[in-house]
Amino acid sequence: MMSPGIISARMSGRGIGESVMWIINVFVRALLRLLRIRGASGQGAQPLSMAELRTLVLEGGKFIPKKHQSIFLNLFELEDMTVDDTMTPRGQIEYIDLGDDIEEVRSKLATAHHTRLVVCEGGLDNAIGILHVRKVLNATRREQIDIDGLREISRDTYFVPSGTPLNTQLLNFQRDRRRVAFVVDEYGDIQGLITIDDILEEIVGEFTTDPATMMHKDVHRDADGSFVVNATTTVRALNRSMRWSLPTDGPKTLNGLIVEFLETIPEPGTTLKLQDYMLEVLQTGDNAIKTVRIRPPDAIVG
């Protein structure tokens, strides 16, 4: 059972919000000085409100490089986003189960897609820590590592409540010197995984400029220009990595988005149109959509 004391809630929302506002004010005021734009000055100057900061950035568009303007606007949006918006959903969490055979565990470590893996015993509901793959490599240089050895070098779990604002969690990560956290609901059940990289990517974009690596890991392109997508992928992750503009004001995942639109779990072969994107349900199962084919507007002919 998860200890309530582990859940990070020591800083009030007001205190966190004021800290973020102060940081943004510092950035924007420095920018105004660089652009020689006059603003309130002196010791009695009041911090600009979020609306005033947004207006300044938008109106200064011709003076601010597009990438920098995008970063500022993304910072403002953090106030309205929560960990639920950008977390890796439970069904996509990569983990190793210490209840499995040691050879199977070693095989998963050797083929892992991430540098940090969730460690559990008997299933994800019993998560016991986070394991850095580099630590495993260092340990195996001395001797072959076993289950107890993996448990020993795993860092303890860190939980945050569902609904935590992203700006709050960013500062919590910094304060607690953490990079990964489990998102749990009011019953303590794991809903997803949030990392500091997930939040930073919401601000600055994907940490890559290589077009060949821009494809999301759960998206595969077909020769006809369409994309086959894992329906458990979050809509925000798709928009960010694929430069799409699917609606984000509703369900978090592609599966949820389609089910809400159709108000039923569709049969394979069902097609629909969402904001100029043509979607075809390819596979369903376990009361959910598994895979979807997406044709973005620029791939739709006729």
Q: For the chain, which residues make up each domain, given as ranges? A: 13-80, 211-299
Contact, 261 vs 273, CB < 8 A?
no
Contact, 265 vs 289, CB < 8 A?
yes
pTM for the structure as a whole: 0.68
Among residues 195, 83, 196, 182, the alpha carbon closest in space to that of 127 is found at 182
User: Among the listed ranges 169-183, 199-213, 219-233, which one has the minimum average pLDDT value?
Assistant: 199-213
Please name the residues in contact with 40: beta carbons below 8 A apart, sequence gap of 6 or more.
Answer: 46, 48
Among residues 174, 195, 240, the alpha carbon closest in space to that of 23 is found at 174
Instruction: Give the range with max mean pLDDT: 68-72, 171-175, 248-252.
Output: 171-175
DSSP state of 98: T
Contact, 253 vs 237, CB < 8 A?
no
Is 70 exceeded by the pLDDT of residue 95? yes
User: What are the pLDDT digits (tens) for 229-259?
Assistant: 999 888 988 887 788 999 988 888 899 999 9
Please name the residues in contact with 49: beta carbons below 8 A apart, sequence gap of 6 or more.
Answer: none
Is 70 exceeded by the pLDDT of residue 61? no
The architecture that CATH gives domain 211-299 is: 2-Layer Sandwich (3.30)
Name which residue leads in pLDDT, 11 or 23. Answer: 23
Contact, 281 vs 289, CB < 8 A?
yes
> What angle in degrees, to the nearest 10, is found between the helix axes of 235-242 and 196-204?
50
- Report the half-sphere exposure of 75 (CA within 13 A, side-chain side): 22
Q: How far apart, in Å, are the Cα atoms of 289 and each of 256, 269, 277, 281, 293?
A: 9, 11, 17, 7, 11
Q: How many residues would you count in the chain?
A: 302
